[in-house]
Amino acid sequence: MDWLNAILQGTLLGGLYALFAAGLSLIFGVMRLVNIAHGDLIVLAAYLGLTVTVGTGLHPLLALILVVPAMGLIGYGLQRGLLNQTIGQDILPPLLVTFGLSVILQNTLLEAYTADPQKLDAGALETASVSLGGLTMGILPLLTFLIAIGVIWGLQWIFYRTALGRAFRAVSDNQEIAQLMGLNRRHIFGLAMALALAVTAVAGILLGIRTSFDPSVGGARLIFGFEAVIIGGLGNLWGTLAGGVILGVAQTVGAKIDPGWQLLAGHLAFLVILAVRPNGLFPRISG
Amino acid sequence: MSKLKIKPNRRNFLTGAAAVIASPALLSATRAYAATPTLRVGYVTPTTGPLAGFAEADEYILSGIKEALSGGIENNGKNWAVEIIVRDSQSNPNRAAEVAADLILGDEVDIIVSAATPDTINPVADQAEVNEVPCVTSVAPWQAYFFGRNGVPGEGFSSTYHFFWGLEDVLGAFMDMWGSAGVTKTVGGLFPNDADGNAWGDPEKGLAKPLAANGYELIDPGRYQPLTDDFSNIIAAFKTSGCEIVTGAVIPPDFATFWAQAAQQGFDPKIVTVGKALLFPSVVESLGDRGDGLSSEVWWSPHHPFSSSLTGASSNELANGYSASSGRPWTQPIGFVHALFEVVANAAARADDLDDPAAITAAVANTNLDTIVGNVNWANGPVKNVCKTPLVAGQWQKEGDSFDLKIVANAEAPNIATTGELKLLG
């Protein structure tokens, strides 16, 4: 039963990791941009959520109505104003710029919100749980998992069923030809970043309800996001969810043996998959 | 991710070059010829980064100190002006070492002080020791300071001194509090894989042995990685063993994750006494109603019966002064940072020769001063260079909308009065 519980909790944890990773996966899939500041953007979203809940008294989940579009706008502005200037044949400049952005974000948040740990107050939702045949699931982790499925499904639908998705896939396949066909690459990239940060907003709010956060915690979350993306296969959104779940289960099963193995087991699972399937389990993009 | 390296750039180079070129001119104006000589005090503190909470009251404390020292310090009939130079460690040990070296070699400080966690003070003290500059530090358990710097009991260090409490005091205060509560003596240990967690969880030097000696059983599932998002296995282990007490040295985000998940998984301990995470009122407030009844060690509070040797302010006046000027609740490091400068001012007044680092070090070593955190006297320490200040245990209790840290157990330091009674959780 204990093992079953570890696997169950790991699966639910995978939902959170998939949310961390979905935005990364999307940006990388569309414009081959590795966003080092992703973790800090998640924390930024959590702080925006905090500002909204404290300012208006809304429940954190309702605050999403404001935070998601706000992050979307920030994403579009960020891409058009800054990151588009760095995108080219060389993948190094965007990497360095987002690294710098990460440092700037952390210190701006520190200046604006101080180093105090903050938490989003979701009331009874934080501690509620349901029991199922001896296994106990927290409502919040369950909700996180369901939201992760919903978000991935939504992204998948946008990618393969809408004109915007067609544009994303076109610039992803070949930027120059897409440009020749009348797509404004810069605008499309801006929209992709907006969408990615909208997802980040959801991840940030759920993180903020689950644990307390301060300006410096973003970086630690980044690595799980990267691992989930790579385990699942670059550019495959459902793969990202699977990657998150594999990572989560590996961690909790590792922790069942000894808590010190929690992260190690996750990293080992990642390395094994990288060794056996260098492109991840379900790659959409080669190389 | 947040490591910063200072690389030589045009501006740094120009500053350095200008200093080199200007130095002959400055040499003729050193303090030996000046009318009022200046004592330079360097202060390394984590103004920014994850440890910034420890340093949030720096500005207020320093303004008080500067006011008290505005008339200078009287030494051997001569008046010395005092200049305090503050440097940010950015919560990074490498950076702390760098700014300490810069203070010593660049600003040529006469004495260096530092506070807030081994990550800040150890590198600073190491730099001071190498350069033979007197150094006073605080706010880190003495074991982490002494053994963390490879100190040998009996030998100790030559220029660096530290005052705070140790792990034995924390444990004494905790057991004092738990003993009166009448709960099952099964303790769950929440120990992260960091310097503090490994020290507390060490099977030989940690909590396990003294706990066992007092009839407590410690359930230690193992070290978890800080900033983990899942504690389900640790919670399951505590639940199976029937733990009614949880203890550990945990950072705030990990505690928040653990505490919410414990409720989800139906784990309801009677007492939760955690070091580190529950020090700051802001952390407890962020937990909402779930923060009520959590307990922690208390190094300093407005109720401590001590006052400043420098300003004469009582603990209450210092703490409330900060609250009034900042609109924020008082924090425990305030007293200790203030006390650092009390020690400096006292030693500077007594030193035989303020131009001689060895004389200042000797004055520091001979300190016997009643500060705002208690008596500081290195003659009574557990090892050389270490002096212990009193420690009690407290519980956060909700009063109206805000939390108050009630002192609930004081067997270790009976001169600090209790201000409340321990209430069980749940």
Which residue of B193, B256, B261 is in closest CB contact with A138?
B261
CB B265 within 8 Å of CB A139: no
The chain A residue lying nearest B54, using CA atoms, is A115
pLDDT digits (tens, 9 = 90+) for B320-337: 999 899 888 888 999 999
Roughly how many angstroms between the first and final C-alpha of chain B, as a whole number? 39
How far is A275 from chain B, CA to nearest CA, in Å?
25
In this structure, the dihedral spanned by the alpha carbons of residues A105, A106, A108 and A111, taken in order and rounded to 10 degrees, is 170
How far is B11 from chain A, CA to nearest CA, in Å?
19
pLDDT score, position A113: 86
Give yes or no for residue B49 having a pLDDT over 80: no
Using pLDDT thresholds of 50, 70 and 90, give the confidence band for residue A197: very high
How far is B49 from chain A, CA to nearest CA, in Å?
7
Residue holding tokens 């992803």?
A: A172
Question: Does domain A2-127+136-276 match CATH 2.30.42?
Answer: no
pLDDT score, position B253: 84
pLDDT digits (tens, 9 = 90+) for B208-227: 888 999 899 999 988 888 88
Question: What span, in angstroms and rounded, lies between the C-alpha atoms of B342 and B357?
Answer: 18
Question: Residue B287: which of A123, A128, A56, A61 has the closest Cα?
Answer: A123
The verdict on a CB contact (< 8 Å) between B230 and A248 is yes
Give yes or no for residue B8 having a pLDDT over 80: no
The verdict on a CB contact (< 8 Å) between A260 and B222 is yes
Neighboring chain A residues of B283 at a CB cutoff of 8 Å: 116-117, 212
The verdict on a CB contact (< 8 Å) between B232 and A6 is yes
Record the pTM.
0.81
Which residue of A117, A127, A251 is in closest CB contact with B230?
A251
pLDDT score, position A286: 46
CB B253 within 8 Å of CB A46: no
The verdict on a CB contact (< 8 Å) between B229 and A218 is no
Q: What is the mean pLDDT of residues B399-411?
A: 86
CB A112 within 8 Å of CB A46: no
Rg of chain B in Å (alpha carbons): 22
Neighboring chain A residues of B7 at a CB cutoff of 8 Å: none
Question: What span, in angstroms and rounded, lies between the C-alpha atoms of A161 and A215?
Answer: 38
The verdict on a CB contact (< 8 Å) between A126 and B236 is no
CB B70 within 8 Å of CB B346: no
Neighboring chain B residues of A10 at a CB cutoff of 8 Å: 230
Question: What span, in angstroms and rounded, lies between the C-alpha atoms of B118 and A208?
Answer: 29
Cβ neighbours around A280 below 10 Å, total: 23
How far is A49 from chain B, CA to nearest CA, in Å?
14
pLDDT score, position B282: 82
The chain A residue lying nearest B197, using CA atoms, is A260
Q: What is the mean pLDDT of residues A200-229?
A: 89
For domain B168-298+391-409, which architecture applies?
A: 3-Layer(aba) Sandwich (3.40)
Neighboring chain B residues of A115 at a CB cutoff of 8 Å: 48-53, 56
Class of domain B36-165+303-388: alpha beta
Residue A201 burial (CB < 10 Å; 0-12/13-18/19+)? buried
The verdict on a CB contact (< 8 Å) between A129 and B236 is no
Residue A162 burial (CB < 10 Å; 0-12/13-18/19+)? exposed
Neighboring chain B residues of A16 at a CB cutoff of 8 Å: 229
> What stretches of chain A show up as alpha helix (H) in DSSP?
2-31, 38-56, 60-78, 84-86, 92-113, 139-161, 163-173, 175-180, 185-210, 218-232, 237-257, 262-276
Q: What is the mean pLDDT of residues B268-292?
A: 87
The verdict on a CB contact (< 8 Å) between B223 and A259 is yes
How far is B128 from chain A, CA to nearest CA, in Å?
28
Question: What span, in angstroms and rounded, lies between the C-alpha atoms of B68 and A243?
Answer: 60
How far is B334 from chain A, CA to nearest CA, in Å?
16
Q: Domain ranges in chain A?
A: 2-127+136-276
Q: Domain ranges in chain B?
A: 36-165+303-388, 168-298+391-409
- Distances in whole angstroms, Cα of residue A33 to Cα of each of A28, A279, B91, B138, B254: 5, 17, 30, 45, 31
The verdict on a CB contact (< 8 Å) between B234 and A9 is no
- Distances in whole angstroms, Cα of residue B108 to Cα of each of A161, B8, B16, B21: 68, 21, 15, 17
Which residue of B49, B91, B264 is in closest CB contact with A136?
B264
Greater confidence (A243 vs B328) lies with: A243
What ipTM was assigned to the predicted interfaces of this complex?
0.83
The verdict on a CB contact (< 8 Å) between A115 and B233 is no
The chain A residue lying nearest B331, using CA atoms, is A116
Q: What is the mean pLDDT of residues A244-257?
A: 92
Among B194, B229, B240, B292, most A C-beta atoms within 10 A, so best to mutate, is: B229
User: Lowest-confidence range among B30-39, B51-60, B160-169?
Assistant: B30-39
Tokens of A136: 């106990």
pLDDT digits (tens, 9 = 90+) for A125-161: 888 888 887 788 889 999 999 999 999 999 999 989 9
pLDDT digits (tens, 9 = 90+) for B229-242: 889 889 999 999 99
